[in-house]
Structure 1
Amino acid sequence: MIPYGGDSTTLILAVLTITAVTWYIYIFFFRTKYQNLPPGPSGLPFFGNLLSLEPELHTYFAGLAHIHGPIFKLWLGSKLGIVVTSPSTAREVLKEHDTVFANRDVPAAGRAATYGGSDIVWSQYGPEWRMLRKICVVKMLSNTTLDSVYELRRGEVQRTVKYIHDRVGSKVNIGEQVFLTVLNVITNMMWGAGVEGDERESLGAEFREAVAEMTVLLGKPNLSDFFPGLARFDLQGVVKEMDALVPRFDRIFEKMIGERTKKEEDGKENESKDFLPFLLNLKEEGDSKTPFTSTHVKALLMDMVVGGSDTSSNTIEFAMAEMMNNPEVLRKVQEELEIVVGKDNLVEESHIHKLPYLHAVMKETLRLHPVLPLMVPHCPTETTKVGGYTIPKGSRVFVNVWAIHRDPSVWENPLEFDPTRFLDGKWDYSGNDFSYFPFGSGRRICAGIAMAERTVLYFTATLVHLFDWAIPQGKQLEVAEKFGIVLKKKTPLLAIPTPRLSNPDLYKEN
């Protein structure tokens, strides 16, 4: 017979305590030893290491690697997390066992942000993902396609130049203006519309805030991911917050899709070069085996708008801050631009391949401040071995590229901003060298490398060719980082522009 009242409560508590202790002993002693899991810090019953996580996960994980080695484990509730922090272990995950680790452990926030994980970032490895990647790499982001929409990018950069020139002598939020420029480029490429006129400043700040909130939620440790049985309760409100953000973008997507569909129905020809008509036609043509749906259209638009704008603008902001913090580097960039571009000309994308020192600045910026410091987490589809340890199927695997890029055994003076280390042409973005792979590697390498390279180099070159920049009096320049799935500058870069070149026509919008 089960006792009632206080005795019943005592019995339940006793059973729960015994269960928790048994689980703790099994997980942290017998199971770990039996499976030959990597070493790692001890944890608490039920929670594992969740309560000891620090906000700046990339630096926290780097610190744990110094204690536990280049591959270690963390128990995140019922989820096993594996962190790799060396070129050799990264190679095993991303090259030697690439197919096994090609899947994603999709967080609840990722599903909410991308229509159930229907985008190229979070979709599982397979026919659907291959279809989406082919659309992105071959059709939307190839060099040929990017060449065809260069005038869109050029026009947006010139609008930004005029905006900055109108504010000469006043503080300019560089990151915000670059973000809005990139956002306008992407939205013009996607559906032929950007943010102009009086809306520029207010909507730019609003969009950037929304995108920033999204990326914070995507990188935030969430109980729903670590205790799947609790996911429906959304105890931290992460999905609720994401569900409030997504409609801001979804309404725009629906509006643009509706307008383009109506034009098609009315028989009006589309003369613009944007991608939306192509995506809608692809949806109509269909593929019985791997259909491309309206959900895929919106998920890809979300990838482009959120992923493309935030990543490139953050890199440019870091690059500007690092150059301003290293005046000799900035001087060399400007001298190179004067030789290649001239003092009476605007920077064009055709100049980019003739600017090796600027390219080295971009590479060094991505070394110190990689866009995704822990990459997008991988998830093995079968149990395998890495670094001599067992990595069970379904684990969440983090590749700490931020720490690898600062490894003193690989890089001389790793904390120093020194673009000259990239002038010998040894390092590139292919992901084949696991000491430097800012865009990832293997099957899940970033699909937008070509566009990111053009965007960062072209915009950065324009900003430093046309303007000198000074920090407001009494303010201090710093390049501290704020962790998220996308790495950001901790405090906005506010600087005062001064025109460098004497020709006033260079600062006008054509």
Structure 2
Amino acid sequence: MDFLNSLVSVFLVWALVTALFSANKARKRKLLLPPGPFPYPIVGNLFKLGDKPHKSLTDLAKTCGPIMSLRLGQVTTIVISSPTLAKEVMQTNDFSFSYRATPDSIRAQNHHLHSMVWLHPFNKWRSLRKISNSHIFANQRLDANQHLRQSKVEDLLLFVKECCGDGKPVNIGLAAFVTSLNLISNTVFSVDLVNPSYNSAQEFKELVWNIMVEAGKPNLADYFPVLRSIDPQGIRRRMSAHFAKMFEIFDHFIKQRMQSTEVADNDVLDVLLRIIHENKEINKEMMMHLFVPLAAFIDAAEKQSFPHCR
């Protein structure tokens, strides 16, 4: 019994010392953080965000200052609300602050491991950025595709004219989406991704919209990482299905091009396939993930230009 009592005493002392050490470490870490509102147990400051987080953060900044720390569930978040500090973080010290957290929804289909948008700034990210700057967004390629832009604008005007002649209404938002999407798809694949009938256009638009909706939803797994394995809201599961549909579309064009015996179109797809074949700087999986942000960018741009046309 004496040995058992001694063993229990040693264990209790060890647990007490460990708890005090952890509390002291947490207190020191808290002293290094900017000031912020007092967090509640478990949920932290989540409820202070309300249904309009941008307004809530503005009000909090008036009392906590232009830089403050919030505890959102189990995640500590630093909020910058000053143009001067934002420039310091995003421009002067951009590399140091580039390791942003990845939303759990973006982990679907391992998108965070292959997308230039979410990769950390290491070799893979540098390779994708170099390829994008040289072969997708280069001024020379944009100038060479000026005739495509002219052609798609003419297609848009012709479609509107036909609708007017037939007395049919025109969905301006969807028409702008089709024009932008087919311009990008011609630049990348040398084909129209959707046709002006709007049946396939609406389906693809909804697919892109669903991806953006799932990515923007508040996700418990982001605030409580311990819940990632069970995906309580099913967001990552639905995002994975949406990504799979989009990759199926991209894969169709890639296989069609690889099996083709015709002369290369020298579009973005040809350039990427040539890079894969010559130096293995990227692979097919990375290439398909590279195409996803282009579709999302088109949809976001269309909503900014035509916010009331859904």
Q: TM-score, normalised by structure 1?
A: 0.52
**Secondary structure at 1:300 match in 2:** helix
Any residues of structure 2 matched to 1:93-492 within 5 Å, and which?
A: 93-112=89-108, 115-168=111-164, 171-194=169-192, 195-198=194-197, 201-263=198-260, 266=261, 268-270=262-264, 272-287=265-280, 291-306=281-296, 308-317=297-306, 489=307, 492=308
Contact 1:46 1:78 (8 Å CA) reproduced: yes
Contact 2:152 2:182 (8 Å CA) reproduced: yes
Q: Distance in 1 between matches of 2:43 and 2:255?
A: 47
The one-letter amino acid paired with 2:289 is: A
**Secondary structure at 2:38 match in 1:** coil
Q: Distance in 1 between matches of 2:110 and 2:178?
A: 22
Instruction: Name the Cα RMSD after superposition.
Output: 2.6
Q: Distance in 1 between matches of 2:92 and 2:37?
A: 27
Q: Deviations over 1:116-157 (max 9, x none)?
A: 431110111111111101111121111110111122222112
Q: Could you tell me how far 1:113 is from its partner in structure 2? A: 6.0
Q: 1:273 to 1:313 in 2, by over 3 A?
A: farther
Q: Could you tell me how far 1:303 is from its partner in structure 2? A: 1.9
State the structure with bigger RCO (CA 8 A, min sep 6), 1 or 2.
1
Which structure dedicates a bigger proportion of its chain to strand?
Answer: 1
Contact 1:179 1:309 (8 Å CA) reproduced: yes
Q: Distance in 1 between matches of 2:229 and 2:243?
A: 19
Contact 1:79 1:227 (8 Å CA) reproduced: yes
Q: Distance in 2 between matches of 1:312 and 1:119?
A: 20
Q: Could you tell me how far 1:161 is from its partner in structure 2? A: 1.5
Q: Distance in 2 between matches of 1:285 and 1:208?
A: 35
Q: 1:160 to 1:230 in 2, by over 3 A?
A: same
Q: 1:161 to 1:42 in 2, by over 3 A?
A: farther
Q: 1:310 to 1:65 in 2, by over 3 A?
A: farther
Q: Distance in 2 between matches of 1:61 and 1:207?
A: 35
Partner of 1:45: 41
Q: Is residue 2:24 matched to residue 1:34?
A: no
Q: Distance in 2 between matches of 1:165 and 1:179?
A: 17
Q: What stretches of structure 1 move > 6 A for 4+ residues in a row? A: none
Q: Could you tell me how far 1:31 is from its partner in structure 2? A: 5.2
Structure 1: gaps (5+ residues)? 1-21, 318-488, 495-510
Q: 1:66 to 1:208 in 2, by over 3 A?
A: farther
Q: Distance in 1 between matches of 2:268 and 2:78?
A: 39
Q: Percent identity?
A: 31
Q: Distance in 2 between matches of 1:63 and 1:175?
A: 35
Q: Could you tell me how far 1:242 is from its partner in structure 2? A: 0.2
Q: Distance in 2 between matches of 1:273 and 1:164?
A: 31
Q: Could you tell me how far 1:95 is from its partner in structure 2? A: 2.0
Structure 2: gaps (5+ residues)? 1-18
Q: Distance in 1 between matches of 2:69 and 2:199?
A: 44
Total equivalences in the alignment: 287
Q: Could you tell me how far 1:112 is from its partner in structure 2? A: 1.5
Q: TM-score, normalised by structure 2?
A: 0.83
Which structure dedicates a bigger proportion of its chain to helix?
Answer: 2
Q: Distance in 1 between matches of 2:169 and 2:144?
A: 35
Q: Could you tell me how far 1:59 is from its partner in structure 2? A: 3.7
**Secondary structure at 1:135 match in 2:** helix
Q: Could you tell me how far 1:32 is from its partner in structure 2? A: 6.4
